[in-house]
Amino acid sequence: MSENKQPRKYDAVIGTQPQSPMYGAVMGGIDGLKNRFKSVEDVSEKAKILEEALQYEEEGEKYLLEILEKEKEREILLQAYTLLNNQNKVTIEEIRIFRENKEYFVVQKKLKLLKILYTISDKNPWIELPLSEEDGAIKYYLQSYISLEEARVEGQKRLAEAQKSLAEAQKRAAEAQKSLAETRTKISARRELHKVQQRFNSTEDANLKAEILPEALQYQEEGVNFILKVAETTNEKEILAVAYDLLKDKQESKIQNVLLSLKTKHPWLLP
């Protein structure tokens, strides 16, 4: 029994007829459309192919914008411009919602594209489309709004920069005030320490000197240096014992070296 070689209903068939250009664009996505556009020489045919771009939504709009930036043929430019303009027209109702409620999202995407279209038409007056009275009013409003919006954004940017500069200036001023306060504190402390030194040096009484010496410790580093100097120069046991006691808990190597020298010179200081 011979085999039946006729194709059945669902068999794959080799050598099928080529699909229509529309089918090719859909199957190839936006890249397929781009390839078709490049492969065609006829300007009118190219313009016709662009009509399919908006099937691909944002990708299609992006491609039409690329065409507006790169293409030189007026017919193709006008087609891309017309498609984008019609796709993104703003209605009176959208304007009303926007003006009354400031719902920017209502026209945000359209404004972005329309701004580009307005810039293109300003540079190429021949590309401008005839406008109805309503379209003209909307375009005038949107152009005014776009200018105001750009000015507002620029104003906010400059305000932010000014606020940043002010904050930095305030920080520097605070640091300067802190430094000034520290300087004043040091000057005041030196004056008070000088009074302590005068009282210490003005008396010959070793016991009184020993009573005065601890006051120097409150003036931090300069007070400690004064006590160190007294410890290194005095021979009075009462004063030396007090100076040693005031310094023994200090961990600085300079102080510990002086104390070690004192203990060597005055063994009675050892515990």
Q: What is the pLDDT of residues 84-135, one digit of tens each?
A: 777 766 565 655 555 555 555 545 566 666 666 666 666 666 555 555 555 6
Flag whether 166 is in a domain. no
Instruction: Report the alpha-carbon distance of residue 215 to residue 39 in Å, rounded.
Output: 97
For residue 55, the one-letter residue type is Q
Flag whether 121 is in a domain. no
- Categorize the per-residue pLDDT at 215 as very low, low, confident or very high, splitting at 50, 70 and 90: very high
- Categorize the per-residue pLDDT at 61 as very low, low, confident or very high, splitting at 50, 70 and 90: confident
- Categorize the per-residue pLDDT at 167 as very low, low, confident or very high, splitting at 50, 70 and 90: very high
Select from 55, 87, 119 the last residue of a domain: 87
- Categorize the per-residue pLDDT at 77 as very low, low, confident or very high, splitting at 50, 70 and 90: confident
pLDDT at 20: 45
pLDDT at 200: 92
Q: What is this structure's pTM?
A: 0.40
For the chain, count helices (H), then strands (E): 11, 0
pLDDT at 57: 84
CB atoms within 10 A of CB 166: 10
Flag whether 195 is in a domain. yes
Q: What percent of the chain has pLDDT over 90?
A: 27
Flag whether 24 is in a domain. yes
Select from 62, 87, 112 the last residue of a domain: 87
Q: What percent of the chain has pLDDT over 70?
A: 66
Flag whether 92 is in a domain. no
The residue with greater pLDDT, 11 or 258, is 258
- pLDDT, mean of residues 26-40: 85
Residue 126 DSSP label: G
pLDDT at 5 > cutoff 50: no
Flag whether 115 is in a domain. no
**Number of folded domains that form the chain:** 2
Instruction: Report the alpha-carbon distance of residue 13 to residue 133 in Å, rounded.
Output: 58
The residue with greater pLDDT, 124 or 203, is 203
Select from 48, 70, 87 the last residue of a domain: 87
Flag whether 181 is in a domain. yes
Flag whether 214 is in a domain. yes
CB 269 within 8 A of CB 262: yes
Instruction: Report the alpha-carbon distance of residue 56 to residue 33 in Å, rounded.
Output: 10
**Structural domain of 230:** 173-269
